[in-house]
Structures are given as structure tokens and as C-alpha cells.
Amino acid sequence: MDKQPNQQPVLRIPWGLAERMQTLLHPAPFHERFAFAAARPLQSGPEQAQATLLEQLIVIGGNDYERASPGGLALTDDASARMNQWALQLAKHGWIAVHLHSHPPGVSHFSHTDDAAESQLAAWLLQQGVAGYWSLVWPAGGKPRARLWLQGVEVPGRVVLGLAPVEPEASAQSPALDRQRAFGPALQQVAEQLSIGVVGVGGLGMLALEQLARAGFRRFVLVDPDTIEITNLNRLPSVTRRDIGRPKVRVGKRLIRQIGAALGHTPQIVAFPRDIYQSVAAQRALQRCDLILALTDNDLSRTMALRLAFDAGREYLQAGADITLADDGSIAGLRAEVTGAETGRYCPICSGRLSPAQAAIEARAYAGEEIAAHARQAGYLPDVAAPAVMGLNAVAAGMLVTEIQRRAAGLGVRDLLQVDLHPGEFRAINRILTNQGCDVCGTEPVAAPANAPCDPESLAMPPQVQQMPQSTSDITSHQIFSEGDHETDEIPRTRPTPTRPKRPAARHTQAGRWRSA
């Protein structure tokens, strides 16, 4: 029997942003720190818990602390008042304030001092017409915990870092899935609850679907306008000549159902035999998913999937395989690649994995037959499909599904995976360090060292939130990168990266005096 998902409210934190939070809230030597964040409510489906995505993190300056020690902290009256006003302004635009602070090792729960200060703030915000706010405590060396103050009442919440639940729920494991027990209970919970939108159910997409379904994932939205052709028979699992002419999404739906029945559960699948670029219904369904996968072979559909993911606050991954030919027609590369995106940090456009210029060329196919014919004649829209084989597609699909499993189990996030089987080269990049601004993901050029104060005007704010009043405090907002990080100039690119204008900026607050112990 399928288990009903937990309906506790969820605070989702992108993995890279969580790394910044952990670094900035846990200085060495340790003393308690406070931060403010802006989060936006996410659209939820009928069986999904209320979720909020934390997107903007601000660490207040040293002058805003009345005191800070390993055992507690207190903010000044001015800092508390300023943050309260920020919370009010966020609420006007439909966003939610998040208060974050650290505890020393071993103090994993909210303290009585936290309870008193936060309940007082919740009551004050309610008087101002603000329904609530999130609070998070992250003990040094421990796991973050969060609660939602709603209408003045404390509501326990769940924290999800990227795709990984911080405290996964224990449940009975299907005997058919016993061999993946090494990933722990988190993978099982995510597989049961995660809704995955798949754009492109072709040679790579169908293989990814099969692997995801056999790993226990069971909630899918499939989008692909194409039908099975004879050239698909060498690359698509479970496909026979009887399937020629059938929509790929329906064949994919059949495959998932067969696997679900074998594993003992009933998958939930919505299939759209439509073009993502033209179907509003498909776009809306994708934006209700937790994770969007772009597995097509063109930049236009991937760019559309990326935009949908960012607009809806969803996780995004894309994968591809490419047989590169030399001028004489010989094979020069057998490449597979997986990459993702994160608001305020990186995306396939600013890292050179997607080309807006190529997407614009591909959009000519929708501009009328005369324009499309001219583009094909000029070679911009190829008439002949690129070479493809099942083995290379399976490598890309395996890399993608394994990365999803790693993320779901809380084992970490890799921004880019590349393999070229021809020369035998492999590259795994933990953190892509962009060196330019991007108006798609909101990335800012990284110039200042970590933990150095920066100008509040340089911070990127989600476009839905208007500019807030400046504060007089120093505000720190920097990218923290681990070993294995690379600037984008070091990554082999398939195309030049366009320069993007900067995104506008954001901010924060609190009422009464904020104290923690």
C-alpha cells in the first residue's frame, strides 16, 4: 500500500545555500550567530505539504549584536526593529521572513529563550497583519531544525536540503528495493514522495525513466510531442515495432506502470504528448513538480524547462549525450554530461551548458513554415538527426539517476559531471564558480573573499520583491566553495557563454529584542 506523505510544512533550502548558511552560522572559534532570510511559498499539489523555498540569505554585521558568545546572543534594538520592518515589507509581496541562528554543539532544539522571543515576535507580526514566519536553529556539528509560526501558533516543520530530508521518516522497505539500502531511509522517502517532471522521453529520457522507476520513484509528469519511429528501436527500452506511431510519453507511462506493479506500488503519471514550448497545461503541470529534468536534444526546450524551474522554485537537472564527429566523419568524442542549476549560484546558461542564441535559432521552427524552411536550408535547423546509440545514452542516464540518488540520500551535490569515453576522460565538479553576472539565475560575479562585508546594493533579490530600504549595517553575502570547485573558464564549453545583465536586489528583519540562549 502506498504511504500518504507527511503534511507538516516544509522549508526547502538549496544545497549550495545551505553550505553558505552552515559556514556563516558556525564561525571558528564558535560563537552563536544570527541571520535573516527571504523565502517564497511554493505552489503545492493536492497531496503535497505546504512548502516554502529559502532563496536569500543575509548575515548581519558585527555592530548589530549587543552580545554574542558560544552560549547565546542578543541583537541591538536598532537591528531588531530594522529586521521587523523588513519582515513586514516581505509579507506585502507574498514572501515570508526566516530567522536563523546557531547553537553550540549538543544543543539541538530551540531553547526556552528562543520560545519566548519567537512567540513574542509572532504575536507582534500578527498584530501588523502578517500571518507568520519561519524560524530555524542549526547547532554546530548537528542538523538544522525549523518551525513555522502561523497565526501566533508554533507549527513543527521539516527541513529539506536540496532533495534530501534532514530527518527522513522510517518506513518498511520493499524487498524488491533491498539492494539499494546503502543509500539509507532518505532515498526511500524521497522516491515515494518526490514528483519528477521529465521533458523529453526519447533515447536518454526513456532510459532515465526506467532507472528512476526501478529505484522506487513513482510520481511523474511526462512531456514530449514525438511518437515512436523506426530509428528509436535501437535505443528505447521495452519498445517494439508495434509501438511505432505511438506517443513516446504513453510508452513511457506504460513502462513505469509495469515496473511499479513489479515493485508492489501504483505510480502516479500524467503524460502530455505536447510540445513544452506550446502547451500551457504541460508547463503548469511541470511547475507543480519538485524536480524538473530536461532530457531533450535541443536548447530551446531545455531553456524553457530551466525557466519553468526557476519561476516555480523547483530543482533542475539536465543530461545529454553526444557523438562528436571530426571533419572526416570519424568519431572524435563519446560524451555524456549532467548538470543542474541553483538560484543565485549557477545555471546551464552562465556556465556555458546552454546557449540562448541557439535557442533563439531553434525558435524559428515555430515562426511559420517559410522562416523554418529558410533556417533548415541555411543549416540552422538540421534535417538529419544526430547519431546516437543506446550505450552512451545509458551512461548519461546512469550518471543522472545516480546523482539524483546521491542528492536524495543527502550525500552531496555535484554541479557538473562529464565523461568522454573516447579518450577515457572523466570530470566531476563540486561547485561551479561563475565569474560573471547572470539575469537567469541571479548569480553575481565572485570578487570578494569569503566573509568580507559587501555593499547591500550588490545583493540580488528575487524579481517579485521590490527594493527594500537600505540598512546602515554591513551585510555579508558570499559564495563558499569546497575542494573540486572550478571557475567556468576552466570548464570545456560546447558554446560561448553570453554576458547577462545583473538582477535587481533584496533584504530582511525582527520585532522586540531578539535573543537566543
CA dihedral 426→432→434→435, nearest 10 degrees, is: -70
Model confidence band, residue 476 (pLDDT cutoffs 50, 70, 90)? very low
What residue type is assigned to position 212 of the chain? L
User: Residue 362: is its pLDDT beyond 60?
Assistant: yes
3-state DSSP assignment of residue 39: strand
User: Residue 504: is its pLDDT beyond 50?
Assistant: no
3-state DSSP assignment of residue 492: coil
Residues in contact with 332: Cβ distance below 8 Å, sequence separation at least 6, in sequence order: 324, 325, 326, 422
Closest alpha carbon to 90 in 358, 362, 465, 492:
465
Model confidence band, residue 452 (pLDDT cutoffs 50, 70, 90)? very low
Which secondary structure element, helix H or strand E, spans residue 150, and what is its range? strand 145-150
Asked if residues 233 and 251 have their Cβ atoms less than 8 Å apart, the reply is no
Q: Taking residues 304-327, what's their average pLDDT? A: 95
Q: Taking residues 381-390, what's their average pLDDT? A: 70
Q: Taking residues 71-78, what's their average pLDDT? A: 92
Q: Taking residues 446-462, what's their average pLDDT? A: 38
Name the grid cell of 516. 537566543
Asked if residues 97 and 133 have their Cβ atoms less than 8 Å apart, the reply is yes
Distance CA 291, CA 315 (A): 5
Asked if residues 493 and 418 have their Cβ atoms less than 8 Å apart, the reply is no
Name the grid cell of 141. 556539528
Name the grid cell of 375. 533556417
Closest alpha carbon to 265 in 333, 334, 192:
192
The pLDDT value given to residue 2: 54
User: Residue 513: is its pLDDT beyond 80?
Assistant: no
Distance CA 43, CA 25 (A): 29
Q: Taking residues 15-31, what's their average pLDDT? A: 93
Q: What is the pTM of this model?
A: 0.85
The pLDDT value given to residue 46: 63
Beta bridge mates, 272: 223
Distance CA 325, CA 387 (A): 9
User: How does DSSP assign 121-139, residue by residue?
Assistant: HHHHHHHTT--EEEEEEEE
- What percent of the chain lies above the pLDDT cut of 90? 67
pLDDT in tens, 271-291: 999 999 999 999 999 999 999
Tell me: cis bond preceding 29? Omega within 30 of 0 counts: yes
Domains and CATH numbers, the chain: 10-161 (3.40.140.10), 184-443 (3.40.50.720)
Average pLDDT, the chain: 83
pLDDT in tens, 86-135: 999 999 999 999 999 999 999 999 999 999 999 999 999 999 999 999 99
